[in-house]
Amino acid sequence: MRTLSRTALSKSALAERLTVLTPDPLPTREHLFDDKAQLAVALAKAVAADLRGAIARRGVARLAVSGGTTPRAFLTELSKQTLDWAHVTVVPVDDRWVASDHPRSNERLLRETLFQGAAAQAQLLPLRRPTSTPEAALLPVLSQVANEALPLDVVVLGMGEDGHVASLFPDLERRDVGLQPRGRAPVLAIRSASAPEPRMTLTLSAIFTAPSLYLHIEGAKKRQVLDNAARDPRSTLPIRSVLAGSPVVPLLYWSP
Ligand SMILES: O=C(O)[C@H](O)[C@@H](O)[C@H](O)[C@H](O)COP(=O)(O)O
- Residue 204: pLDDT above 50? yes
Q: What angle do CA 147, 172, 225 make, to 5 degrees?
A: 105
This complex has an ipTM of: 0.97
Edge-to-edge strands, sheet with 251-255: 29-32, 251-255, 212-218, 154-157, 61-65, 88-92, 123-124
Query: What digits encode the pLDDT tens for the residues 240-252?
Result: 999 999 999 999 9
Of 177, 102, 192, 175, nearest to 142 by C-alpha is 177
First to last CA, the chain: 51
Closest atom of ligand 1 to 165 CA is 7
* pLDDT > 80? residue 51: yes
Ligand 1 neighbour 160 (Cβ under 6 A): yes
Residue 66 CB less than 6 A away from ligand 1: yes
Which residue among 43, 94, 218 has the greatest number of ligand 1 atoms within 8 angstroms of its CB, and so is best to mutate?
A: 94
Q: Which atom of ligand 1 is nearest to the CA of 158?
A: 9
* Residue from 43, 65, 66, 213 whose mutation best tests the ligand 1 pocket (most atoms within 8 A of CB): 66
pTM: 0.92
Q: What is the mean pLDDT of the chain?
A: 94
Minimum-distance ligand 1 atom for the alpha carbon of 168: 7
Q: Is residue 16 over pLDDT 80?
A: no
- pLDDT tops 60 at residue 196: yes
The HSE-up count of residue 113 (CA atoms within 13 Å, CB side) is 24
- pLDDT tens across 66-100, in order? 999 999 999 999 999 999 999 999 999 999 999 99
Say if CB 141 and CB 127 are below 8 A apart: yes
pLDDT of residue 175: 92
Instruction: Work out the pLDDT band at 18, boundaries 50, 70, 90.
Output: low
Cβ atoms 51, 105 nearer than 8 A:
no
State yes or no: pLDDT of 2 exceeds 60.
Answer: no
pLDDT band at 17 (very low <50, low <70, confident <90, very high): low
Q: How high is the pLDDT of residue 7?
A: 55
pLDDT at 20: 61
Burial of residue 130, with CB atoms counted within 10 A of its CB: 0-12 exposed, 13-18 middle, 19 or more buried = exposed
